[in-house]
Amino acid sequence: MSKVISVFIILILIFFIATFRYKNKFLKGANKKEYKLYVILGSGLFIVDLIPKKIIKPYIRKLANKYRQIYVTSDVKNKCYLYVAEKICESLICLILVLMFVVVYLLKSSGGEDIKRIKRPSEDMPESKYYLTADGDIKENINLLIGSKEYTKKEAYKLFDKRKGDCIKRMLNKNESLNKVNTSLNIEDVEYSDGMLAQWQVQGEVINYDGSINIDVIDSNKVSSEMILTISYKDFSKDYKVDITVGNVKQSIQDKVQKYIDEQDRTSDYVVLPEELDEEKIGFRSKKNILWIFILGIGVLYAFAMFFLRDLDIKDKLRDRHEEMVSDYPKILNKFVLLLRAGLGNVKALERIILEYDARGEYRYAYEEIKYMLYRIRLGEGEEKAYENYAKRCNEMCYSKFAGMLAENLRRGNLNLGDELSDELNKAWKERENVLRIKGERVGTKLVIPMILILIITLVMIVVPAFMSMKGV
């Protein structure tokens, strides 16, 4: 399977190499800093052109309506075209990375390798289950239980001596030494992970069978007592008799191989697998791990999800645009009223505002919309029509009111425009306060989780030492 995936990766890379210069002249007009994947955007454009127009055109048209609010004077259609191409490139790169990870995983795993022997688990490890595939003349998936390695007699007795001190230390419990026993002993049986068992036997009446001291037989003098420690390993057994009815049983491949393994010497490091069963050749290979299928599925889904999750960035930009425009509205209105009362006309006042804005070297949506409106007026568009288009592009209630007042003043020559705008200015400042409050609440919500984490850490730092000091007391 790794070969198939590798071929697929190579095909995708060949596709990138073959198409990265697609529409190269068109790409020369794009801003390289704006597009992180500018080098391979041609490949994305190639795929976009392959998508049926019935599908891609409505999507780009819907996208363009949002982009017109973000990019005021730019060619929105081309930006949308490049945006979709970049999303496709990102998804393909994500897919390539996932496929490469799966290939590495498959190559490192031992699935599918021919094996002749299996290493037993160490003495202190439980028996292991191996999933193998019988190959050759006999083919069958089998599950084998490989018992852990057992100690030889010499190894067991050597380990008994080593564990004697550990057993005595455990038995003493809170007593200082064997010569100064003044409190209960811990004589519970201890079973080690390798199957070795340590047991204490009480001799005499000084120590009770639960390890407590028998005060009734203790006088003022020191009393000696005797205890026996028994450490055992594979020496004791308990038999259970189970009645079963046995018929004409046909032994399966798994049972035959398991029997072959169980008959081997368990002191050896490896289990040798049979090469023949019932005079038929048999081979084994480890069963392939299918975890890579899950990884591949998740990766492919994530690659597709990336294509659609990128649209969340546009929603965030539109929200930021709304907040910024509402925040700038009272500032623009205040400057306009001052310039209007200073004797400037509508267009001249707006030009003066834009002149000051250009000197700051910033990019603000509200000012860019005014700048574009003045550009359209200089090209010959009617002033009233320019105000109407300005209101549509802004797509904000406050700017629609402002544009409506300017258009009304142009049609009827309203002399009270300054007073009306002053009233509107008071409302604008209140609206700006509401937007800033909502923005602050959103920031506060984002800080809730870090604050909770800080609270938990603080509580741990206070409570843990307190409990430890209480335990010490």
pLDDT per residue as tens, the chain (473 positions): 678 888 888 888 888 888 888 887 778 777 777 778 888 888 888 888 888 888 888 888 888 877 777 776 566 788 888 888 888 888 888 888 888 888 887 777 655 566 778 888 887 777 788 777 777 777 777 788 888 888 888 888 888 888 888 888 887 877 777 777 777 778 788 888 888 888 888 777 777 787 777 766 665 567 778 778 888 888 644 333 423 233 443 456 776 787 788 888 888 888 888 888 877 888 877 766 667 777 888 888 888 887 877 777 888 888 888 888 888 888 888 888 888 888 888 888 889 998 988 888 888 888 888 888 998 888 888 888 888 888 888 888 888 888 888 888 887 765 577 777 777 777 778 777 777 777 777 666 666 777 788 888 887 777 777 666 654 43
Residue 389 lies in a domain: yes
How far, in Å, CA of 130 to CA of 136, rounded? 19
- Asked whether residue 193 falls in the same domain as residue 262, the answer is no
C-alpha 148: how far from chain center: 37
- Asked whether residue 222 falls in the same domain as residue 211, the answer is yes
Reduce the DSSP state of residue 410 to 3 states and report it.
helix
Query: Which residue among 202, 232, 262 closes a domain?
Result: 232
- Asked whether residue 283 falls in the same domain as residue 366, the answer is no
Q: Where are the beta strands (DSSP E) in 103-215?
A: 114-115, 117-119, 128-135, 140-146, 190-191, 197-203
- Asked whether residue 330 falls in the same domain as residue 372, the answer is yes
Residue 461 lies in a domain: no
Nearest to 8 by CA among 100, 109, 107, 111: 100
Residue 398 lies in a domain: yes
- Asked whether residue 280 falls in the same domain as residue 336, the answer is no
- Asked whether residue 220 falls in the same domain as residue 270, the answer is no
Q: Where are the beta strands (DSSP E) in 186-233?
A: 190-191, 197-203, 226-232
Query: What pTM, to 2 d.p., does this model score?
Result: 0.47
- Asked whether residue 129 falls in the same domain as residue 81, the answer is no
Residue 396 lies in a domain: yes
* Residue 157, CA atoms < 13 Å, CB-side half-sphere: 2
- Asked whether residue 425 falls in the same domain as residue 369, the answer is yes
Residue 464 lies in a domain: no
How far, in Å, CA of 192 to CA of 112, rounded? 36
Residue 94 lies in a domain: yes
- Asked whether residue 248 falls in the same domain as residue 217, the answer is no
- Asked whether residue 280 falls in the same domain as residue 399, the answer is no
Helices 76-108 and 53-70 cross at an angle (nearest 10°) of 110
Residue 200 lies in a domain: yes
- Asked whether residue 178 falls in the same domain as residue 144, the answer is no
The H helix count followed by the E strand count for the chain is 15, 11
For residue 201, the one-letter residue type is: Q
Residue 137 lies in a domain: yes
Q: How many domains does the chain have?
A: 4
264: Cβ contacts below 8 Å, ≥ 6 apart = 271, 272
- Asked whether residue 340 falls in the same domain as residue 437, the answer is yes
Query: Which residue among 198, 232, 266 closes a domain?
Result: 232
Residue-range definition of the domain harbouring residue 104: 2-108
